[in-house]
Amino acid sequence: TLLGSSSSVLLHRRTLFRIRSTNDIRQLDQLITQKYLNLPQPSNKILATYIWIDGTGEQLRSKTKTMSKVPDNVEELSWWMFDGSSTDQAVGENSDVYLKPAAIFKDPFILGADNKLVLCETYDANKKPTKTNSRADCKKTMELIADQKPLFGLEQEYTLLDRDGWPFGWPKNAFPSPQGPYYCGVGACQAYARDIVEAHYRACLYSGLDLSGTNAEVMASQWEYQIGPTEGIAASDQLWISRYILQRIGEEYGVQVSFDPKPMECGDWNGAGCHANFSVENMRKPGGIKEIRKAIEKLSHRQEIHIKYYDPSQGLDNTRRLTGKHETASYKSFTSATASRNVSIRIPRQVDEEQCGYFEDRRPAANCDPYAVTNILVKTVCLDSSD
């Protein structure tokens, strides 16, 4: 029977978990939902959805509360709390974890009033940043070099999965045609679920993010968008909120969004990265290529350390992706070149021609924490850090 042994119960529960999703509830009549959402929201009430990174360092959580005034800035928002024992951020006996509002964006989901998304940092009982609050240290670093005007452009790749965990739109128990037609692909068998991409693009712009572009990626049902160039901590704040918005849109369509750096390990399929493009003012000035080359020289001595910061499992996730194949360089060695996609650091051709601009670090995984990535980049390149 179904309940024959504890392992089959577990298996069954996991199956249930994977198959039941919001999309099953889509059989609920959307016209009925709309009837209630059409009710006017009282003018003295707004919804603030507090968002934070949980104990995985990778997944987001959120909860919502009513506020009596539209906040003009993040300082007007009060700290809040959540049950950290349910998010792997505290133990049951001492479970309250603090949410400290860090950045504020327009809510693109509940319309009709000036509702907000609030990105938060997490603090433990002693008001120390939790293990997965890497924003606190990143912010300090960015403040130290604020006068150098650091810019980041983050290329977020992701894969759409069906509710059963198989890539969205792929034939079941089979593979689509080999890679080739999908990158920037156009057509019913080349581009999968463009609706989601376009909904996400618009929602991000509405929310106030510097979303600067999008393209279909090399693997079928894999996509990319870019945040930036954006200054300092804001680039990473925006990337996290853009991920949140994407996950919420995925909920509505019943499509899973995966940031796994290598969703299809067997076969000839590209992984998913989050290339980090970086410059400071000196690099963008005429002759800035000299500064770029200095930066690359510094980075060449710190391969192992950087790899630790480029995925949420201290480099383990990237061992699946940075194989030296599929437009990557091996995680084991540092390489750089102009216009090559098989290196750790690429100098874009245009930068080489103009002799100034920025460089691209191709190593961060799609599920990286951008606070960790941009922090270590600045520490190595601008602060000559040895940690």
DSSP of 24-91 = HHTTS-HHHHHHHHTSPPPTT-EEEEEEEE-TTSS-EEEEEEEESS--SSGGGSPPEEEEGGGTTSSB
Rounded-to-integer distance, Cα 140 and Cα 385, Å: 14
Rounded-to-integer distance, Cα 309 and Cα 305, Å: 7
List binders of ligand ADP among 165-224 (CB under 6 A): 212-213
- Phi/psi class of residue 191: alpha, beta or left (left: φ > 0; alpha: ψ in -120 to 50)? beta
41/215 with CB nearer ligand ADP: 215
359 touches, from ligand ADP, Mn ion, none (C-beta below 5 to 8 Å by class): none
Alpha helices, DSSP H, located in 208-232 = none
Q: Give the nearest residue (CB) to ligand ADP.
A: 153
**β-strands 46-53, 256-258: how paired?**
unpaired
**Total residue length of the chain:** 387
41/190 with CB nearer Mn ion: 190
Q: Among 14-22, 138-146, 202-210, 268-276, which window interacts with Mn ion (CB under 5 A)?
A: 268-276
**β-strands 211-216, 60-67: how paired?**
unpaired
Take residue 41 and report the two structure tokens written for it. 């929201």
Q: Given candidates 360, 370, 373, 378, which one binds ligand ADP under the rule CB under 6 A? A: 360
Q: Given candidates 61, 275, 284, 321, which one binds Mn ion under the rule CB under 5 A? A: 275
Find tokens 């951008």 and name the residue: 370
- From residue 142 to residue 161, the character string flagging contacts with ligand ADP as x (rule: CB under 6 A) and all else as - is ---------xxx-x------
150/312 with CB nearer ligand ADP: 150
Q: Given candidates 50, 158, 240, 358, which one binds ligand ADP under the rule CB under 6 A? A: 358
User: Residue 376: helix, strand or coil by DSSP?
Assistant: helix
Q: Residue 261, interface with ligand ADP (CB under 6 A)?
A: no
Site residue total, ligand ADP (CB under 6 A):
17
Q: Residue 224, interface with Mn ion (CB under 5 A)?
A: yes
Residue 76 to residues 3, 82, 100, 112, Cα–Cα distance (Å): 52, 19, 11, 22
Q: Among 23-31, 135-143, 259-267, 355-363, which window interacts with ligand ADP (CB under 6 A)?
A: 355-363
From the CB of 184, what's the least distance to ligand ADP, in Å?
10
Residue type, 46: I
Q: Given candidates 105, 182, 244, 278, which one binds ligand ADP under the rule CB under 6 A? A: 278
Q: Among 19-27, 165-173, 201-209, 278-286, which window interacts with ligand ADP (CB under 6 A)?
A: 278-286
Q: Given candidates 55, 101, 108, 229, which one binds ligand ADP under the rule CB under 6 A? A: 229
Residue 306 to residues 70, 104, 121, 200, 226, Cα–Cα distance (Å): 41, 30, 23, 30, 21
Residues in touch with ligand ADP (CB under 6 A)? 151-153, 155, 212-213, 226, 228-229, 275, 277-279, 284, 357-358, 360
Residues in touch with Mn ion (CB under 5 A)? 155, 224, 275
